[in-house]
Amino acid sequence: MNSIPATAATTLDVTWPDLALVAMLVLVAIGLSRWQRLGLERGFFVGALRAVVQLVAVGYVLVYLFQATRWWLVLLALAVMLVAATSTATRRRRGQTTGAGERRALWGIGGTAMLVSSGLTLAYVTQVVLHVRPWYDPRYLIPLFGMIVGNAMNGAALAAERMASEMESRRGEVEAYLALGATPARAAAEPVRRALVAALIPSVNGLMTVGLVQLPGMMTGQILAGQSPLLAVRYQVVVAFMLAGATAMTAVMVVLWYRRTFFTAAAQLAARVPV
């Protein structure tokens, strides 16, 4: 990617008093929740505190990683992010799964799918598209991996949830296909299709509206930092395409792997369908 000279702009500083002022917007949300009796006041308050603490902690960690620039520390940070994303995606299904065995299976399926899809996408974007040198430069790997694995996590959670829902609601249809001699893959073809559509619709909508309805965070951040809008646009195109590809790969791997858990070794529908 050829660089474009940055525009002569000064980045406005954000001080701690400024953050205290912007916290008033959270108080507005809390007030509206109380007014309408939504019961979300505690969630807004705790969420705001957690956001500040987590972001400040991450900021100090990133400062250290950027200064250390050691490949194993960067990979360790990526591994922590992957584990956190896998746990979050699995936790979304915890209240709907049938037991610890189901959760372990989903953890392995989601974690492996996100590792493969996010790892391949990150390697392709940083080494083939952006030509990052050294290859472990944390300024690129950590932010890009965070965006990739975050979207892959959402895709994995949506795919697993919809797949389980479709298999339960279409149980009779699936059994009929099996009774007629269809393979498990054929019997579950419609649930698989519907699960993938549900998981990928957000990615499609994101591609449709990026730039027109919303200015994404990375693009906005670069513009606020004084970069040329054209350079920010080109980076955002890279981000939009990499997120779509990673989410699609994750969703397909999760659904096709998860599908196998609904059938026995004898190609029969399992007696207890996860719901």
Scanning the structure block, which residue is given the tokens 């965006």? 147
Cα–Cα distances in angstroms (integers) from residue 168 to residues 25, 184, 221, 266, in the given order: 42, 15, 44, 20
**Cα–Cα distance measured from residue 76 to residue 122, given in angstroms and rounded to the nearest whole number:** 15
**Cα–Cα distance measured from residue 231 to residue 227, given in angstroms and rounded to the nearest whole number:** 7
Q: What is the pLDDT of residue 126?
A: 96
Residue-wise pLDDT tens digits, 25-58: 999 999 999 999 999 999 999 999 999 999 999 9
Residue-wise pLDDT tens digits, 151-165: 999 999 999 999 999
Q: What is the pLDDT of residue 92?
A: 65
**Cα–Cα distance measured from residue 153 to residue 147, given in angstroms and rounded to the nearest whole number:** 10
Assigned token pair, 152: 């892959």
Which of 158-190 are b and which e, b meaning 16 or more Cβ less than 10 Å from the residue's Cβ? bbbbbbbbbbeebeeebeebbeeeeebeebbee
Q: Please report, as a single letter, which amino acid is at residue 269.
A: L
- The residues near 74 (Cβ < 8 Å, ≥ 6 apart) are 65, 136, 138, 141, 142
Q: Please list the ranges in the chain whose pLDDT falls under 70.
A: 1-11, 92-101, 213-215, 271-275
